[in-house]
Amino acid sequence: MSEPQARAPYGVLVLHGLTSSLASVTPIADRIAQHGIPCAVPWLRGHGTRPEDLIGVTWRDWHADASAALDTLLVQCDYAAVVGLSMGALVALHLALERPERLRAVVAVAPALRQAHPLAPLVPFVAPFRRFLTVPARGYSEATRAQLAQGYSRLPTSAFLSLVAYARWLEPRLAAVRTPTLIVQSRVDRVIRPDSATRIHARLGCVDKQLCWFERSGHEMLVDCEADAVLDVVEAFVLAYCPTERGPVERAAPRREALAREA
């Protein structure tokens, strides 16, 4: 009989955003995997196929898929961190709210708390007449980079409204999050209002909560013009909470010029 495979001390779950692709988040999984840490990068419901498959999908489905992926990861690992982009950042914070016992850290990259498009408040009024919305190419700092996008170019109106409802549901509950959290946000994000990051940071109940600003990136921060620096910051935070054989967590020193800690 073969011996049972040893459990890893730590794994990382990486979650993509609404209409996004795995390519938008795999760079951080690749970085972390180089340290021998298992990573899971699941598709969330309605993604990876065609926009029509998002019809009828709600935030509860995205949360359920992420929770199931976390269950699978924790079969292999004692503890985990969760890194999420945009909608995936909301799901990451939700997991920290519900399942803190085995979560060491959360990273919320450009969390989708408030929509930046000036017409976003009108979507509920047009929803009865418009089944799909066009996804503007606003996620990148340069038009040439936007051409590399692999996500959907259309979005069911119902899925967009579900994301908005998710943000409203989650925000008042953030005070119950106790897992150490890093928020990474661009000041020039044209998809999500940058003050989303400050609102989340202010509401979080954890002692260790850090907010890191970037100046030039678009919404797709893990693959845009400052990607190397963004990946450095996220990688350092995730590794800082990796359990060691000695028992306590060994905190790596984050890059001081990149992290801005707020009380």
Task: Give the per-residue pLDDT at 116.
Answer: 83
Which pLDDT belongs to residue 151? Answer: 85
The answer to whether residue 155 sits within a structural domain is: yes
Q: Is residue 3 part of a domain?
A: no
Q: Assess if residue 1 is contained within a domain.
A: no
How many angstroms separate the first and last alpha carbons of the chain? Answer: 54
Q: What separation in angstroms does the CA of 203 have from each of 115, 154, 179, 212, 219? A: 18, 32, 13, 16, 22
* pLDDT bracket for residue 37 (50, 70, 90): very high
The CATH number that applies at residue 39 is 3.40.50.1820
Residue 105, in any domain of the structure: yes
User: Tell me, what's the pLDDT at 219?
Assistant: 94
- What would the pLDDT profile of 203-212 be if each residue is shown by its tens digit? 999 999 999 9
Sign of CA dihedral 56, 68, 164, 185: negative
> Which residues form the domain of 243?
8-261
Q: pLDDT tens, 49-58?
A: 999 999 999 9
- The total of structural domains in the chain comes to 1
- Provide the pLDDT for residue 139: 80
Instruction: Please indicate, yes or no, if residue 2 is contained in any of the structural domains.
Output: no
Give the CA distances from residue 252 to residues 3, 199, 241, 255, in Å, rounded to whole numbers and listed in that order.
34, 27, 8, 9
Least confident of 45-49, 73-77, 135-139: 135-139
When mean pLDDT is compared across 45-49, 155-159, 242-246, the lowest value belongs to 242-246
Question: How much is the average pLDDT of 30-50?
Answer: 96
Would you say residue 132 lies in a domain? yes
* Tally of CB atoms within 10 A around 134: 9
